[in-house]
Chain A
Amino acid sequence: MRFFVRRAIFYLVTAWAAVTINFVIPRLMPGDPVAALLARSQGRIDSSAEDAIRVLFGLDKDVSIWQQYVDYWGLLLHGNLGISFMNFPTPVIQVIQQSLPWTVGLVGIATVISFIIGTLIGTGIGWRRGTWADSLLPISTFFSAVPYFWLGLIAIALFSVTLGWFPTNGSYDRSMLPVFTPEFIGSVIRYGTLPAFTVVISSIAGWILGMRNMMVTVSSEDYVTVAQAKGLSERRVVFGYAARNAILPQVSSFALSLGFIVGGTLIMEMVFSYQGIGFLLYQAVSNHDYPLMQGCFLVITFAVLLANIAADFVYAALDPRTRQEG
């Protein structure tokens, strides 16, 4: 239980830190972009919305910083992230709600595929080291050094513009209504394949490498030798003894690299104009929509925290040592 209590405390502190960073950043900025914006949009923003923005961005200078902080939490706990400038007068939280499922779907599926395939390939390479399989390493290194978005550009140029297999951007056929019909789902899959494929290609190298290195380390352990000596089939030894132990660091690094993957996927959405939260963040940045930017950051961070919690549960299920009392 101690493991879970410690992790729970850690996530609470992290959530608090994320909110606090979000509170502090606009207040540290030189100049006052939001004040300038408010001045420019005189009358377009009604007074109650303006009050919320003032609280969110620290423009109410007559109140102490501590009072600002308390007010800020008050707004957040009511689910109020302010009003989006860009989609005025829609609340930020609603705008984000519309795009969040797209990102979760795309990132989730692509990451799981990448993790599974990468770990399997890594197992193979680590086990059969010194064969042709080792030459996969430099190739995957190259792909991991390429920025996500550039790979996306190349994929669009190749598969969409030249070959015409997939649409160049968007997340479904705009002529369809977003309802759950087979045609619509088919369209979503058709539009999502290329972004997902690019995410898999560029994130798989890390999994391959991590698993390969762990396999190399684990396979010289005594229990693997014993398993081999008992005459167990190669398959049993690889999956039941070596890979089973080598995968633990993979799961814990999964949690750590998630922030990285999410960052990459956000960029991918910008390249493909995929209507997820990354594209939203992109639009918010180019339109100087500060409340939306802040809101996107908070939601992304909380999503990553949730995924981390999930990874912790998986880790606890895989590694009995974490479940020990005391």
Chain B
Amino acid sequence: MTVDTTLTTTPAVVVPARAGRGTRLLFLRNAKALTGIGILVFFAILAVVGPWIAPMDPDALSSAILAPPSGAHWLGTDHLGKDILSQIIVGTRGVMIVGFVAGILATAVGVVVGVTAGFIGGAGDEVLSAASNIFLVIPQLPLIIIIAGQLPSAGGLTVAAVIAFTGWAWGARVLRAQTLSLRKRDFVEAARANGESTRRIVLAEILPNLTAIIAAGFVGTVTFAVLSQITLAFIGVTSVSDWNWGTILFWAQQNQALARGAWWWFAPAGLCIAFLGMGLTLINFGIDEFVNPRLRSTGLNARALRRRGIRPRIGFTPVVHEAEEDRA
């Protein structure tokens, strides 16, 4: 998976600070964003109610050893007869908590560093952006692995903190660039001329315009945190007794689930990760298209033209009367 660079290449777009009802709904009318939010809500509910709705205790042994999916065990059992569906349901909470805690921490650091750097400029900016560039270049996963590997006990929140420590730089970089361009805008100059305090300019004039970018950065960091945490659990760096999707894969790998053909052991956990990751990515696409109208309109326009039998090509502007409506 590669870092999505769309935001940095996006020309600065100022979203009105108090978006009207129409603009807000625009985001929700985006099919990609809606699908993503749906997936996210599903897993969030699972994280909350998981332990109550799990069909059995994920640690309970049974006589059905390495059994394929059946009526009693919907997703089969592992080498000790533990129910895999229950492990996945119970493990959702760990995944979501670490993902969101790491996302919140990293975004907070990113906002503070990025906005400060962009707003103060000069030497302070040089130092802060050098720091975030350094953290961008140093490979994150090995860093997380060596930190977590040396901790005497790496529980969920510790892991979240470690991930946040290594993952804040991307958001800081994007926010700095955007703050730099906002700082020179007329409305900020006007606020300054009005004698507003720096605090107020940052909180009331600049931050509202960064909302979309902060949100995108947050969602991206959560994706990264979920993947990192599961990877750590899979290679056995973190505690293998707390259930999360990575732990399931760890035990599957340790017990040669692959060679024994026990696909039900490792496939469902991976699919859950993929769906959660896809949901988050879709939300980010939605935010991207919301911020950068070019990305939004091209697909729709092209499709609308095709329906009329016009082949959309670069370099000519078709005059189609109804095309305006499709833009939505």
Contacts and interface: CB of A to CB of B under 8 A. Distances in A.
B13 interface: no
Interface stretch (A48-56, A150-158, A316-324): A150-158
B142 A153 contact: no
Most B Cβ at <10 Å: residue of A25, A33, A260: A260
Interface string B1-15: 111111011000000
A224 B314 contact: yes
> Size range of the interface on B?
35 or more
Interface in B269-288: 269-270, 273-278, 280-282, 285
A145 B1 contact: yes
Given A150-B266, A285-B237, A266 B306 contact: no
A320 B6 CA distance: 23
Interface string B159-189: 0000000000000000000000000000000
B298 A249 contact: no
A147 B145 contact: no
A6 B303 CA distance: 46
A249 B5 contact: yes
A130 B1 contact: no
Contact of B8 (A156, A249, A267, A285): A249
Contacts of A267: 141, 231, 234-235
Contacts of A228: 313-316
A193 interface: no
A282 B2 contact: no
A217 B270 contact: no
Contacts of B231: 147-149, 267
Nearest to B170: A256
Contacts of B134: 13-14, 17
Interface stretch (A60-68, A78-86, A199-207): A199-207
B152 A294 contact: no
Nearest to A267: B231
Contacts of B4: 206, 209-210
Nearest to A250: B5
B228 to A, nearest CB: 8
Contacts of B278: 141-142, 145
Interface string B128-161: 0010011011111111011101111000000000
A157 B295 contact: no
B45 interface: no
B150 A293 contact: yes
A308 to B, nearest CB: 6
B152 A33 contact: yes
A156 B281 contact: no
A123 interface: no
A260 B5 CA distance: 13
A267 B306 CA distance: 44
B130 A13 contact: yes
Contact of A146 (B9, B142, B266, B277): B277
A293 B137 contact: no
B230 interface: yes
B94 interface: no
Nearest to B6: A213
B293 to A, nearest CB: 11
Nearest to A282: B235
Interface of B: 1-6, 8-9, 130, 133-134, 136-143, 145-147, 149-152, 223, 227, 230-231, 234-237, 249, 252-253, 258-259, 261, 263, 266-267, 269-270, 273-278, 280-282, 285, 294-295, 298-299, 301-303, 305-306, 312-316
* Closest 4 A/B residue pairs (Cβ): A206-B2, A130-B302, A145-B277, A263-B141
26 contacts: A13-B130, A14-B133, A17-B138, A29-B151, A33-B150, A127-B314, A129-B299, A129-B312, A145-B278, A147-B277, A150-B266, A203-B1, A210-B4, A213-B6, A228-B313, A249-B5, A249-B8, A253-B5, A255-B137, A259-B136, A259-B140, A263-B140, A285-B237, A300-B139, A301-B139, A304-B139
Interface of A: 10, 13-14, 17-18, 21-22, 25-26, 29-31, 33, 127, 129-131, 134, 141-142, 144-151, 153-154, 156-157, 161, 168, 202-203, 205-207, 209-210, 213-214, 216-217, 219-220, 224-225, 227-229, 237, 242, 249, 253, 255-264, 266-267, 270-271, 281-282, 284-286, 288, 290, 293-294, 296-297, 300-301, 304-305, 308
Given A220-B294, A263-B141, A304-B137, 12 more contacts: A14-B137, A25-B146, A144-B1, A150-B269, A203-B2, A205-B1, A217-B294, A237-B315, A242-B314, A284-B149, A285-B237, A290-B150
